[in-house]
Structure 1
Amino acid sequence: MPHATPGPRSVERALEILDLVADADGPVAAKVLAGRLACSLSTVYHLLGPLTARGHLVRAEGGYAPGPRVAALHRSFQRHVGLAPGVGETLARLRRATGAEAYFTAYRDGLITVVDTTAPVTDAGHPFTPGPETRAHATAHGKALLAGVGRAARRRYLADHGMARFTDRTITAAERFEAEVRRVRAQGVAVSVGEAHPAYTCLAVALRGSGDGSVLHALSVSLPTAEFRRRQGGVRAALLEAAGAIQ
């Protein structure tokens, strides 16, 4: 059963339904939802009614799937975290120049989110996807963004989200991460070689955020480590050029 959070039980269950449907590979049957939530089928249908009426879900063959309202919420989120109109084209140009997938990431209110990417939505096997970033201490964009906040905020972030080990290269000690932050600030480019995924390297550059510093942005790329080692100079140069075009 999904992890429960404080609040009205009906609201919790409705959000759990949305999460379950969003994370599924295809439509999810009401009976499956009832089993996952450990509640009655009638309760699930009671919650599915307003979710489908408002367009958050749609009834599809075999169950329920994300609805059209999700796209509007995503666009609204992108707008609120500062995704400028030209960023999408910049990501596409960076993808063409490097052959690597490109990403635009934001830090806001103690959360790091991959806001946009060139990685195909159909590529379920790609290690970096849009949404909440749970491996910030191990990714280049996470390092670049955390290097842009104060030590207290950075320590608070790491305490809240943890420093899980994903590979034998992952930094899992706070003091060692502070040393990494100093390196990122000195070089202006964050690098993660096999820290979040054993076969991938990512590079990131911090961008200017909101005027009050409440939102920070980063531009990054990821590619197989073997490819990175062959042409890291060109990839780094293209990333810096693209970042300069956004700034």
Structure 2
Amino acid sequence: MERSQRQNGPGRNMSMAKPAGPTGPQSVDRALEILDAVADAPGPVGAKALARRLGCSLSTVYHLLGPLTARGHLVRTSAGYAPGPRVAALHRSYRRHLGLGPRIAELLPRLRRATGAEAYFTAYRDGRIVMIDSTVPVTDVAHPFAPGPETRAHATAHGKALLAALPRPARRRYLAEHGMARFTDRTITGAERFEAELARVRGQGYAVSIGEADPAFTCLATTLPERPGGADGVVHALSVSLPTGEFRRRHGEILAAVVRAASDAPW
């Protein structure tokens, strides 16, 4: 970061001046807070707003914004700071590392066309569950299931499918770390009942969540066969979501389409 600060300082030799903000691990942590704040915002964010959110001085924020914009993680617009072009490259790399190659990406729209339901590709790795991709348009910000870290795994079908596939110690660690919050009156929040639910998932080969994460939606999911050479601890799931009333009418058709798509996963 020091190199970027010297190259982008406001007309002075930054190597000879006292840094305007924190250094070391605190600086890294605050830079990541800035990235999170900009990513989570509905639009560009001004430096003053970032300083208020971080609870630090404006000079500290500018000290960190310099290298973040120089490296392309952020861009400065007339309305404030927004995600930069480097984010897209990181996103592609992340998807690639979690197994979302072009052929898997093509599977989601096919499943969407076959079922009329939104389709999702989710993965577990190293104690985290993340929705990697979906057919939901990026402009549909009101949709209850969006790509990114999954905070409701115990209440979603894809979360249940992935947790059911884990060894019990890994599953218990995950639930101890992330908890089992109640989102609707259908959410399972008891450990014993949840273990019974996962045993049922393993027995039938798929998971269902009827209004457990969102009262209006039902999800159905199943895990994908392991990738060839994929002994990296990553487990993948394919799922769909649709209004509960429609799911009840088309349960058999939806299940058959998801299972067929998962078995044909083109690794």
Q: Identify the TM-score tier after normalising by the shorter chain.
A: over 0.9
**1:102 matched to 2:119:** yes
Aligned counterpart, 1:33:
50
Residue 147 of structure 1 aligns to a residue whose secondary structure is: helix
Whole-Å separation in 2 of the counterparts to 1:65 and 1:192 = 35
Deviation at 1:208, TM superposition (A): 2.4
Q: How many residues end up aligned between the 2 structures?
A: 241
Among candidates 234, 239, 246, match of residue 258 of structure 2? 239
Aligned counterpart, 2:97:
80
Among candidates 204, 209, 229, match of residue 248 of structure 2? 229
Query: TM-score scaled to structure 1, two decimals?
Result: 0.95
Query: TM-score scaled to structure 2, two decimals?
Result: 0.88
Among candidates 23, 27, 41, match of residue 40 of structure 2? 23
Greater Cα radius of gyration, structure 1 or 2: 2
Residue 246 of structure 1 aligns to a residue whose secondary structure is: coil
Aligned counterpart, 1:131:
148
Consecutive unaligned residues of structure 1, counting only runs of 5 or more, are 1-6
Consecutive unaligned residues of structure 2, counting only runs of 5 or more, are 1-23
Between the aligned residues of both structures, percent identity stands at: 74
Aligned counterpart, 1:8:
25
Aligned counterpart, 2:233:
214
Whole-Å separation in 2 of the counterparts to 1:194 and 1:103 = 17
- Aligned-residue Cα RMSD (Å) equals 1.1
**1:179 matched to 2:196:** yes
**1:90 matched to 2:131:** no
Aligned counterpart, 2:172:
155
- Which aligned segments of 4 or more residues in structure 1 are displaced greater than 3 angstroms? none
Whole-Å separation in 2 of the counterparts to 1:51 and 1:227 = 46
1:155/1:174 contact within 8 Å kept:
no
Aligned counterpart, 1:115:
132
One-letter amino acid of the structure 1 residue matched with residue 238 of structure 2: L
Residue 68 of structure 2 aligns to a residue whose secondary structure is: helix
1:200/1:222 contact within 8 Å kept:
yes
Deviation at 1:209, TM superposition (A): 3.3
Residue 90 of structure 2 aligns to a residue whose secondary structure is: helix
Q: Give a deviation string over 1:12-34, Cα, whole Å, max 9, x none.
A: 11000000000000000111001
Residue 264 of structure 2 aligns to a residue whose secondary structure is: helix
